[in-house]
Amino acid sequence: MENDVSEVLLTGEEIREKTAELARQITADYEDKDPLLICILKGGLMFLADLTRQIHLPLEIDFMAVSSYGDATESSGVVRILMDLERNVQGRHVLIVEDIIDTGRTLNYIIQNLRTRGPASIKICTLLNKPARRVLDIPLDYVGFVIPDRFVVGYGLDYGEIYRNLPFVGVLKPELYAEE
């Protein structure tokens, strides 16, 4: 799998350091707020696990699975909820935890959906921000890294459901996903 990566953008150590920094900021910002962290599956799982272990306050986690890509490299723009939350978000301080923000369409859909459920607040924490592809302007509260417009895998990010377990974020070789 590692031979399928043309370049390592972020090492495991860089990710660990940035995750610790974000966790410190979240711990300070959410003191006395009883946050509910909502992980967007499947890509956000690795980031959520490492992030929550470093947030030093009581919190709850829940999961939401949405699809806008299927097996493609480009978002279809049609978002479907594949798995909804178990927890009630009404009156809660919600922190959405994402692996990557690309066009913003999926995140916008999730935010609009959650707002109808009456949370006290909604904030966004993402490991990766790819602003070059942004279609919708969405304020991001906690950002790990701003990355260029490259197709990345690893640390939860996949192509065709593989590469998620790479311990770094790397650029997938274009010949592996380019249409022939």
Give the catalytic positions in this structure.
Answer: 102
Please check whether residue 44 is in contact with residue 101, taking contact to mean a CB–CB distance below 8 angstroms. Answer: no
CA distances from 162 to 10, 48, 119, 174 (A): 18, 19, 34, 15
ω before 33 within 30° of 0 (cis)? Answer: no
The count of C-alpha atoms lying within 13 angstroms of the C-alpha of 160, restricted to the half-sphere facing its C-beta, is 5
The count of C-alpha atoms lying within 13 angstroms of the C-alpha of 76, restricted to the half-sphere facing its C-beta, is 10
